[in-house]
């Protein structure tokens, strides 16, 4: 929390806002496209159905007008055996069918006609049927010649005019279908434009969000890298300070306490020489001298443990050999040591860090491996120091388990001298710690 406050706000709110806006654009455009597509589907279905029914009714009207035309042609034939009044029933049937067809056609017509245009058609039909009624009235009265004249002069002309009007309506119907198709195409074009706008908006939103995410990630990674460098620098500084402190304490123990205890031992020896052999004081002085010598040995051992001075005197290989002789007593481990064929001089900083890695690895074996046996290998090859500590215990912890500070310290010590340390599982099981440091 402190780090986030120090280095700036978290990018999560802005990223969530970008995600919400993107989803909102997607949802709105999807709703719009769905609505437009539904509208197109309904419009096409309705127009197709109406156009089909309109055309059927117009064809029905046209067929009735053609029947009227054929009937009037037969009525003008003077050689026909039927009197004119006999045609009245057929005219009535055609009239009823025409009235029904005209009404249905008006209900489903897709052509845009003004009320005046519809009134003209209705008046034309009314005039035709009025003239037809007059003609049949004359025929029933026995005036066939006058009735035929009425058919020839009035009815046929009106029937031709009605056929022409219906033909024009068919043409208008086709024009309306063309206009409807153009309207559908306009809607398709609008949907396409909206789809392109949506794609551009979505790409812009995604691009902006991605750029912000990249920028935020770069900042976060830069902060993490800086924090990692700071942590590594701090860890290495702590390790260096710790080694300096341990070296100073080791020297103080060796030089100050060691000299004091050595001086006490010397004084006790001199005092012992001034006493008789059978004196009780001589026995007490000898006992005090043994205690002082034991304390001196303990101080020297502790001094070597804190900072082995033999690293600087004898080198790493000899120090490792000496240390492993004390491991069984200190940690209860039986260690098999594979020595290098040839010892190589190692810088003091490399030697102390390799020595500490060895101490930590064996300490981990004693605490966690569940075994009392280990193998230590030290070698110098390919211009590098190779140190391995192997055990056949319980092995590495499961993924995600706690690694402990010991492994972190080993890694930092290795990096401090430009080396690497790895943990692996050998074929026989357990854990293999490998340290490699270029020399």
Task: Please tell me which of 27-31, 93-97, 229-233 the model is most confident about, judged by mean pLDDT.
Answer: 93-97
Question: Within 10 A of 407 (CB to CB), how many other CB atoms are there?
Answer: 18
Last residue of a domain, one of 216, 243, 274: 216
pLDDT: which is higher, 134 or 196? 134
Per-residue confidence (pLDDT) for residue 318, from 0 to 100: 85
Radius of gyration of the chain (CA): 57
Please give the average per-residue pLDDT across 364-371, as a whole number.
Answer: 88
- Give the 3-state secondary structure of residue 43: helix
Give the dihedral of Cα atoms 149, 154, 160, 161; nearest 10 deg. 170
- 322: Cα within 13 Å, side-chain hemisphere: 15
Residue partners of 404: CB distance under 8 A and separation at least 6: 364
In a domain, 56, yes or no: yes
With a cut of 60, say whether residue 49 has pLDDT above it: yes
Per-residue confidence (pLDDT) for residue 55, from 0 to 100: 77
> Do 204 and 351 sit in the same domain of this protein?
no
Calpha distance 105→102 (Å, rounded):
5
Computed over every residue of the chain, the mean pLDDT equals 79
Residue 87 exposed, middle or buried by CB count within 10 Å (0-12, 13-18, 19+): buried
Residue partners of 86: CB distance under 8 A and separation at least 6: none
User: Which residue from 45, 63, 371 is spatially nearest to 184, judged by alpha carbons?
Assistant: 45
Query: DSSP strand E in 237-372: where?
Result: 334-338
Number of domains in the chain: 2
With a cut of 90, say whether residue 435 has pLDDT above it: yes
Calpha distance 128→122 (Å, rounded):
10
Per-residue confidence (pLDDT) for residue 139, from 0 to 100: 86
Contact (Cβ atoms closer than 8 angstroms) between residue 29 and residue 191: no
Last residue of a domain, one of 190, 216, 242: 216
300-314: per-residue pLDDT in tens? 667 666 667 777 778
Integer CA distances (angstroms), 389 to 95, 168, 247, 333, in order: 114, 104, 25, 12
86-100: per-residue pLDDT in tens? 888 888 999 899 888
In a domain, 356, yes or no: yes
Per-residue confidence (pLDDT) for residue 389, from 0 to 100: 94
In a domain, 118, yes or no: yes
Per-residue confidence (pLDDT) for residue 39, from 0 to 100: 77
Domain ranges, residue 141: 2-216
End-to-end CA, the chain: 42
Per-residue confidence (pLDDT) for residue 357, from 0 to 100: 92
Position 402 confidence tier, pLDDT thresholds 50, 70, 90: very low
Per-residue confidence (pLDDT) for residue 429, from 0 to 100: 86
Percent of the chain with pLDDT over 90: 8
DSSP per residue, 62-118: HHHHHHHHHHHHHHT-TT-SS-GGGGHHHHHHHHHHHHHHHHHHHHH--S---HHHH
In a domain, 284, yes or no: no
Calpha distance 47→60 (Å, rounded):
19
With a cut of 50, say whether residue 195 has pLDDT above it: yes
> Do 181 and 77 sit in the same domain of this protein?
yes
Position 3 confidence tier, pLDDT thresholds 50, 70, 90: very low
Position 1 confidence tier, pLDDT thresholds 50, 70, 90: very low
54-105: per-residue pLDDT in tens? 778 888 888 988 988 888 888 887 776 678 888 888 889 998 998 888 888 7
In a domain, 232, yes or no: no
What CATH number should be reported for the domain holding residue 367? 3.30.565.10
> Do 171 and 57 sit in the same domain of this protein?
yes
Position 432 confidence tier, pLDDT thresholds 50, 70, 90: very high
pLDDT: which is higher, 177 or 254? 177
Position 437 confidence tier, pLDDT thresholds 50, 70, 90: very high
With a cut of 50, say whether residue 229 has pLDDT above it: yes
Calpha distance 127→137 (Å, rounded):
15
108-160: per-residue pLDDT in tens? 765 556 667 677 778 888 888 988 899 889 888 888 888 888 888 888 888 88
Question: Within 10 A of 71 (CB to CB), how many other CB atoms are there?
Answer: 16
pLDDT: which is higher, 173 or 93? 93
Contact (Cβ atoms closer than 8 angstroms) between residue 14 and residue 205: no
Position 234 confidence tier, pLDDT thresholds 50, 70, 90: confident
Please give the average per-residue pLDDT across 385-389, as a whole number.
Answer: 93
249-289: per-residue pLDDT in tens? 766 666 666 677 777 877 777 777 777 777 777 777 777 87
Question: What pTM did the predictor assign?
Answer: 0.48
Give the dihedral of Cα atoms 215, 219, 220, 226; nearest 10 deg. 160
Give the dihedral of Cα atoms 358, 363, 368, 372; nearest 10 deg. 90
In a domain, 224, yes or no: no
Last residue of a domain, one of 216, 232, 257: 216
> Do 316 and 192 sit in the same domain of this protein?
no
Per-residue confidence (pLDDT) for residue 273, from 0 to 100: 73
Calpha distance 155→135 (Å, rounded):
9
DSSP per residue, 122-171: HHHHHHHHHHHHHHHHHHHTT-HHHHHHHIIIIIHHHHHHHHHHHHHHHH
Angle of the 156-252 helix axis to the 348-364 helix axis, nearest 10: 100
Per-residue confidence (pLDDT) for residue 7, from 0 to 100: 47
Please give the average per-residue pLDDT across 19-31, as a whole number.
Answer: 77
Residue partners of 373: CB distance under 8 A and separation at least 6: 333, 334, 335, 336, 391, 392
* Element (DSSP H or E) covering residue 53: helix 12-75
Calpha distance 15→10 (Å, rounded):
10
Please give the average per-residue pLDDT across 335-350, as a whole number.
Answer: 86
In a domain, 404, yes or no: yes
Position 397 confidence tier, pLDDT thresholds 50, 70, 90: low
With a cut of 60, say whether residue 399 has pLDDT above it: no
> Do 194 and 82 sit in the same domain of this protein?
yes
Q: What is the DSSP letter of 397?
A: P
In a domain, 47, yes or no: yes
> Do 18 and 152 sit in the same domain of this protein?
yes
């Amino acid at each position: 929390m402190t780090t986030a406050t120090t280095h700036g706000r978290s990018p999560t709110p802005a990223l969530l806002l970008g995600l919400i806006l993107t989803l909102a654009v997607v949802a709105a455009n999807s709703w719009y496209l769905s609505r437009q597509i539904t509208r197109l589907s309904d419009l096409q279905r309705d127009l197709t159905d109406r156009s089909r029914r309109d055309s059927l009714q117009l064809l029905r009207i046209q067929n009735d007008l053609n029947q009227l035309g054929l009937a009037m042609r037969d009525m003008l034939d003077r050689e026909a055996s039927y009197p004119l009044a006999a045609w009245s029933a057929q005219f009535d049937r055609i009239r009823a069918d025409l009235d029904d067809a005209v009404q249905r056609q008006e209900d489903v017509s897709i052509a845009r006609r003004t009320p005046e245009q519809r009134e003209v058609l209705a008046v034309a039909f009314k005039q035709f049927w009025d003239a037809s009624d007059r003609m049949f009235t004359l025929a029933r009265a026995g005036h066939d010649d006058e009735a035929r004249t009425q058919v020839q002069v009035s009815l046929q002309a009106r029937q031709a005019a009605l056929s022409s009007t219906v033909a024009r309506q068919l043409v208008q119907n086709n024009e309306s279908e063309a206009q409807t198709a153009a309207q559908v195409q306009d809607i398709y074009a609008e949907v396409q434009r909206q789809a392109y706008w949506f794609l551009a908006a979505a790409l812009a939103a995604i691009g902006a969000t991605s750029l912000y995410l990249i920028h935020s990630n770069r900042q976060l990674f830069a902060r993490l890298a800086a924090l990692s460098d700071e942590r590594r620098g701090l860890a290495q500084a702590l390790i260096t300070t710790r080694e300096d402190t341990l070296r100073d304490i080791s020297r103080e123990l060796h030089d100050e306490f060691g000299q004091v205890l050595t001086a006490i031992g010397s004084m006790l020896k001199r005092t012992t020489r001034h006493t008789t052999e059978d004196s009780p004081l001589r026995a007490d002085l000898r006992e005090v001298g043994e205690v002082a010598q034991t304390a001196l040995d303990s101080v020297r051992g502790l001094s070597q443990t804190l900072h082995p001075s033999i690293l600087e005197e004898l080198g790493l290989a000899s120090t490792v050999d000496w240390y492993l002789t004390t491991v069984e007593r200190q940690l209860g481990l039986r260690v098999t040591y594979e020595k290098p064929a040839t010892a190589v001089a190692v810088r003091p900083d490399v030697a102390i860090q390799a020595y500490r890695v060895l101490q930590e690895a064996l300490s981990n074996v004693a605490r966690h491996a569940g075994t009392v046996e280990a193998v230590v290998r030290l070698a110098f090859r390919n211009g590098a120091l190779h140190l391995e500590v192997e055990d056949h215990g319980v092995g590495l912890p499961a993924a995600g388990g706690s690694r402990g500070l010991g492994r972190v310290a080993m890694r930092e010590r290795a990096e401090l001298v430009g080396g690497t340390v790895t943990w692996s599982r050998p074929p026989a099981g357990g854990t293999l710690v490998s340290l490699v440091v270029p020399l």
